[in-house]
Amino acid sequence: MTDGLPPGLRASPRRVHGPFGRALIAGGLIAGLMTGGFSLGAAVADEVEIDLTSARSLAIQAVQSGDMGAAITIAQRLIARDPKDALAQQILATAALNTGELDTARVAVRRAYGAAQTDRQRHEAAKLAAIIAAEQGRGLALRYWLRQAGENSPTQQERALAVSALNTVRDASPWETRLRFSVSPSDNVNGGSDRPYNVIDGRPEVGMLDGDARALSGVEARLGVDTSYMLNRSARAQTRLTFDLDLQRTRLSDSARKQAVTLSGSDFARSAIGLGVEHLRADASGRGAWSYGATLGLSDDSNDTGRSLSLSVDRIQRLSESTRLSFGAEWTLDETVSGTDALQRIPRLWMGLSQRLENGASLGLSISAYEVQSPSGQRARHGGVAQVSYTPASSIGPFDLSGALGAGVTRYPDYRVGFIAPDGGRQDSSVFGQVSVGFKEVSWAGFAPEMTLRISRTDSNISRFDSTETGILFGLKSQF
């Protein structure tokens, strides 16, 4: 036995149900607590003339010998003396688990985790809590405690075991859910102009822009939920039912509220939901896969309510051990059911290439092209975007870094400004860049804060659409 612990100090493998199996019991459940730096002074246990160290030893021996009743009795006496005795709580949870008293075990292990003082103690308590959650069939709690076990792992090997168990649980469950949340202060939440005048290239007319058309500062908050349910699965294919929710809210700054003429934060609110089906089929060679999707969507964007149908096809191809190619197409039918806009058709193509460099860094390139076919000349357009991204091979101190640079063009061939039709329509070009910094040393349950600095510049032949935006996005990123 690698940790030198007798079998009695481990949770019984035959009681562990669920797909992660023995990965959860790869270490002693109590070993870390005994070596975690507890002070074992010569206090006298209630009604028992032995010191505290001896009482704990008796409780452990009781677990080793299978006398769970005695272990529970001694642990309860120790807890009566000190409810924050993490070792006693861990012993009680272990013994209660082995006698089938799962509610008692559940409460005790949560208290053991709360009283733990080191990563080792928290890791062992979280591992035991995961086993208890599996016994009770509490799927969300199981994932939570596996995340805590991975978060507090004293060694990389134990972290890998916890992450492997979490991935196994994910793969076995028909449900998959991911949350997204971010808060982003920005100096231009409305994409407004950075100039007070409206000038059209090649035209003598000059107009004045009101406060609504100029850049407004504020804070954007976004919440997203992506959930899917496995309908069918085979060795090479799977079909999922998907549900997506995206909420965006904006709060204008005091100066923006004074500048705005008719706009308020509610005018930038957006809510969207989507229900769809996705089918993934891998090649027999294992080097690539096709993905097909269909989604029905409803959206509420300020004063416009819309509905949409999207069809997509994707291809992922492994060109070599270090190179991945992806490409795809999407066709969207978007209809506004309130407001002034009508039916729009939006075809889109994209391609991406990712390369793992010899030094371990990652380099990515993506390009996309789209067209918005609309009866409104103010909205009909076509354009494209290209982006290159880079992620260093290793962290820089306590920080994980990544960056991206890109450029895009958009053409509105039938755009008009009042009665004026600019030569060639409206023509916008943009450049952008971002740097993301992850704080890996500050995390909770495997989620670490991440900050992204974004800067973009758009130039247009209509100065109303010349704009600059600088924003900082704060969010959370899962480390496993």
Nearest-angstrom CA–CA distance, 115 and 85: 7
- Model confidence at 195, pLDDT cuts 50, 70, 90, reads confident
- Domain match, 134 and 183 both: no
Of the candidates 336, 318, 316, which has an alpha carbon nearest to the alpha carbon of residue 326?
Answer: 316
Last residue of a domain, one of 146, 172, 198: 172
Tokens of 118: 């080191």
Angle, vertex CA 438, rays to CA 272 and CA 225, nearest 5: 20
Per-residue pLDDT tens for 382-423? Answer: 999 999 999 998 888 888 999 999 999 999 999 998 888 898
**Domain for residue 66, yes or no?**
yes
The number of folded domains in the chain is 2
User: Is residue 286 left, alpha or beta, with left meaning phi > 0 and alpha meaning psi from -120 to 50?
Assistant: left
- Domain match, 206 and 313 both: yes
Average pLDDT over residues 260-289: 92
Per-residue pLDDT tens for 125-159? Answer: 999 999 999 999 898 899 999 999 999 999 989 99
**Cα R_g (the chain), whole angstroms:** 29
Provide the sign of the torsion angle of the four alpha carbons 132, 136, 137, 141, taken in this order.
negative
Percent of the chain with pLDDT over 90: 56
Query: What one-character-per-residue DSSP string does 93-135 give?
Result: HHHHHHTT-HHHHHHHHHHHHHH--SHHHHHHHHHHHHHHHHH
What is the SS3 assignment for 137?
coil
- Domain match, 124 and 247 both: no
- Domain match, 22 and 134 both: yes
Of the candidates 16, 290, 44, 232, which has an alpha carbon nearest to the alpha carbon of residue 133?
Answer: 16
Whether 131 and 145 have beta carbons less than 8 Å apart is answered as no
Per-residue pLDDT tens for 291-343? Answer: 999 999 999 987 788 999 999 999 999 999 999 999 999 999 999 887 565 78
- Domain match, 92 and 225 both: no
- Domain match, 258 and 372 both: yes
Last residue of a domain, one of 149, 172, 195: 172
Q: What is the pLDDT, as a whole number, of residue 435?
A: 96
- CB neighbour class for 299 (10 Å; exposed up to 12, middle 13-18, buried from 19): middle
Q: Which domain holds residue 386?
A: 175-478
**Domain for residue 1, yes or no?**
no
Tokens of 162: 């916890």
CATH number at residue 325: 2.40.160.40
- Domain match, 151 and 195 both: no
- Domain match, 109 and 132 both: yes
Nearest-angstrom CA–CA distance, 426 and 259: 26
- Domain match, 165 and 186 both: no
Last residue of a domain, one of 115, 150, 172: 172
Q: What is the pLDDT, as a whole number, of residue 341?
A: 59
- Out of 196-210, 216-230, 254-268, 423-437, pick the least confident: 196-210
- Domain match, 50 and 191 both: no
Full-model pTM: 0.78
**Domain for residue 322, yes or no?**
yes
User: Residue 144 belongs to what H/E stretch?
Assistant: helix 139-151
**Domain for residue 2, yes or no?**
no
